[in-house]
Amino acid sequence: MLAENARQPKRQRLTLVRIYEELRNHGYDGSYDAVRRYAASWSKATREASAAAYVPLSFDPGEAYQFDWSHEIVLIDGVTTTVKVAHVRLSHSRMPFVRAYPRETQEMVFDAHDKAFAFFGGACARGIYDNLKTAVDAVFVGKDRAYNRRFQQMRGH
């Protein structure tokens, strides 16, 4: 029952109390605490099994870079300010390039790419992005995206 419940979408999963009630309806006469202990050990074993199975990422030099934003709180001239930080990392060597901006706009995405490629001495064959809002007009099922015109022009350049 726990494995079946774990396969459900997150919003449709039963709580442990509901699982206990379902088990009681099927004739289980044990305590809730026993169900909770079993669920905890099952969950731990499942996490350990899935952690042991992974696909290592491997990239050739110049094959790809990864781009993402972070939000950092900094002290500028005595004033606490939130800045957006563009992170560009070469996938093969893991060499980072980081640049802070006041906002996360499309122009700043383009500037970050320009500065990163100048820093690295060239551009990679492809970029890997994690839900870059300033580049996407629409998100579809799976990995399908409708990229906006300006971002497609930057990628083609």
- pLDDT, tens digit, for every residue of 59-107? 999 999 999 999 999 999 999 999 999 999 999 999 999 999 999 988 9
Could you give phi then psi for residue 150, rounded to 5 degrees? Answer: -65, -40
Please determine, for residue 52, whether its predicted confidence score (pLDDT) is greater than 70. Answer: no
Predicted pLDDT of residue 51: 64
Predicted pLDDT of residue 25: 92
- What average pLDDT does range 21-43 have in this prediction? 91
Helix (H) or strand (E) holding 20: helix 16-25
**DSSP string of 48-94, one letter each residue:** HHHHH--------TTSEEEEEEEEEEEEETTEEEEEEEEEEEETTT-
Please determine, for residue 53, whether its predicted confidence score (pLDDT) is greater than 70. Answer: no
Predicted pLDDT of residue 7: 85
Query: Could you identify the residue written with the tokens 């979408």?
Result: 9
Residue 32 neighbours by CB distance under 10 Å: 14
Residues in the chain: 157
- What average pLDDT does range 107-136 have in this prediction? 89
